[in-house]
């Protein structure tokens, strides 16, 4: 339990944000993140000792988000205060923040339109900065399939942003 | 004179330019994905998760095993303590007068006491707002183990007393980022792909980490 408590502290942020990007609601995201950690805890004996915990946990989170989306079609509307409206970190100067927010808003929407597998792959690789090997492990696919998914995901994202 | 392939035809040049532009756009997308801002999780999320983990069903034997291996805190009011103290005192007298004389070898034995050693933990984290010390000595709970910044604000420090022994620890920065001690030469995997630092506490001198 001690070891698991520290894992919860360590990974609550990426799992919560993954869920928020999947459902667009702060309350639901907290519930889904909580359920993800509970599932991980209940299946802890299936975790291979010595392996990286985060890809394993993220895979559980993605599956849980997939189940949630399946049950909750059509998708849940976004919160009125968007994810970006009170984001806590921005690397840019004050005058660039509005442009950034708009860019991020477009990107977030385009990301939300991608199939879950592509969305998860892109977030894991670029946002969470995981090696492709770990992305493949989290998604349960081969290394080459992960590379292909990332390339296609980026291309799909580009096409959607151009179309928006 | 240039070869024909050095001077691409206009359609081919346009195709190359489109390809370059496409690659640049993909690189830009990668950068944007990297810096997508995150939302802060609710402050009570960790508590909620840990509370909901407690009812996990485990066998009675396993529960007993865990109870025996977990440190417990006893809180006793003085009034309730008096009868218990009387019983203990009676037992001590009984042992001292009846049992102890029959075992002369035990009389000379030294009474062991838990020796506590002052240990100073430090972490250089100039941008941090809060830093706490978590480890196997406080059940990985940051409450009451908040570190104090030095005057310059670069170094965070906490002095605690620890019984002799071997402990695993890490620092909790801004309530969310768990980092191992970069100055500790001893690290140990937590079995989940992360690393905790190790400290061996012993001797009479104050330790600085």
Residue A95: the pLDDT is 43
Q: How many domains does chain A have?
A: 2
Domain contains B106: no
The range of the structural domain enclosing residue A70 comes to 1-74
Can you give the pLDDT at residue A64?
Answer: 92
What is the domain range of residue B129?
116-208
H/E stretch holding B161 reads strand B155-163
ipTM given for this complex: 0.73
Cα separation, B39 vs A6, in Å, equals: 20
Q: How many domains does chain B have?
A: 1
B132 strand-pairing partners: B146, B172
Same domain for A34 and A69, yes or no, is yes
Mark the ranges of chain B whose per-residue pLDDT is less than 50. 1-2, 4-5, 103-111
Q: What is the CATH number of the domain that holds B202?
A: 2.60.40.10
Q: What is the pLDDT of residue A1?
A: 58
Non-local CB neighbours of B44 within 8 Å, separated by 6+ positions: none
| Residues A104, A107, A110: CA angle, nearest 5 degrees | 150
Whether the CB of A123 is below 8 Å from some CB of chain B: the reply is yes
Identify any residues that bridge with B167 across adjacent strands, giving them in sequence order: B199
Q: Which CATH number is A134's domain given? A: 1.10.10.10
* Pair A104, A45 in one domain: no
Residues 60-79 of A with CB under 8 A from B: none
Q: In this structure, what CATH number is given to the domain that contains residue A34?
A: 1.10.1740.10
Nearest chain A Cα to B32, which residue?
A: A104
Q: What residues of B are in contact with residue A49 (Cβ under 8 Å)? A: 191
- Do A59 and A104 fall within a single domain? no
CB contact under 8 A, B191 and A49: yes
In a domain, B166, yes or no: yes
Residues 164-203 of B with CB under 8 A from A: 170, 172, 175-178, 189-194
pLDDT of residue B14: 65
Q: Are B171 and B131 in contact (CB under 8 A)?
A: yes
Query: pLDDT at position B121, please?
Result: 93
- Are A9 and A66 members of one domain? yes
pLDDT digits (tens, 9 = 90+) for A58-82: 999 999 988 888 887 654 444 433 4
Strands B116-124 and B207-208: parallel
The B residues from 131 to 160 touching A (CB cutoff 8 Å) are 134, 136, 139-141
Looking at the domain assignment, is residue B2 inside a domain? no
Mean pLDDT by 10 residues, chain A (164 residues): 80 92 88 94 82 90 88 52 40 49 76 89 92 91 94 91 74
Task: Judge contact between A123 and A18, C-beta under 8 A.
Answer: yes
Helix axes A2-23, A53-71, angle to 10 degrees: 40
pLDDT at A29: 92
What pLDDT shows up at residue B52?
83
How many whole angstroms separate alpha carbon A159 and alpha carbon A105?
A: 16
Q: What confidence tens digit (pLDDT) does each residue in B151-202 have?
A: 777 899 999 999 988 999 999 888 878 889 998 888 888 777 778 899 988 7
């Amino acid at each position: 339990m001690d070891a698991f408590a520290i894992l919860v502290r360590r990974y609550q942020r990426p799992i919560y944000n993954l869920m928020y990007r999947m459902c667009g609601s702060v309350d639901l995201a907290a519930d889904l993140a909580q359920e993800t950690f509970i599932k991980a805890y209940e299946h802890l004996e299936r975790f291979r000792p010595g392996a990286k915990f985060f890809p394993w946990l993220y895979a559980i989170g993605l599956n849980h988000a997939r189940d949630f989306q399946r049950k909750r079609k059509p998708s849940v509307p976004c919160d009125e205060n968007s994810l970006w409206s009170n984001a806590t970190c921005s690397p840019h100067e004050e005058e660039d923040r509005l442009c950034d927010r708009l860019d991020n808003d477009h990107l977030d929407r385009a990301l939300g339109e991608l199939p879950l597998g592509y969305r998860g792959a892109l977030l894991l690789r670029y946002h969470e900065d995981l090696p492709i090997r770990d992305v493949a492990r989290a998604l349960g696919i081969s290394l080459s399939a992960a590379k292909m998914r990332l390339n296609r995901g980026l291309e799909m994202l580009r096409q959607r942003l151009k179309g928006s | 004179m240039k070869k024909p392939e050095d001077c691409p035809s206009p359609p081919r040049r346009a195709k190359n330019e489109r390809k370059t532009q496409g690659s640049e756009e993909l690189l830009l997308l990668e950068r944007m994905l990297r810096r997508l801002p995150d939302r802060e999780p609710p402050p009570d999320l960790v508590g909620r998760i840990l509370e909901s983990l407690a009812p996990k069903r485990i066998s009675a034997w396993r529960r007993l095993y865990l109870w025996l291996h977990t440190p417990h805190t006893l809180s006793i009011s003085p009034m309730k303590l008096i009868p218990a103290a009387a019983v203990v005192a009676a037992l001590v007298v009984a042992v001292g007068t009846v049992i102890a004389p029959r075992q002369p070898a035990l009389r000379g034995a030294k009474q062991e006491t838990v020796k506590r050693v002052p240990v100073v933990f430090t972490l250089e984290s100039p941008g941090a707002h809060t830093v706490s010390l978590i480890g196997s000595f406080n059940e990985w709970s940051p409450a009451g183990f908040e570190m104090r910044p030095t005057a310059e604000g670069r170094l965070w420090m906490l002095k605690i007393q620890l019984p002799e022994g071997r402990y695993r620890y890490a620092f909790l920065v801004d309530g969310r980022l768990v980092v191992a001690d970069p100055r500790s030469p001893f690290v140990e995997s937590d079995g989940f792909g992360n690393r905790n630092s190790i400290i061996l506490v012993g001797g009479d001198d104050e330790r600085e980490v």
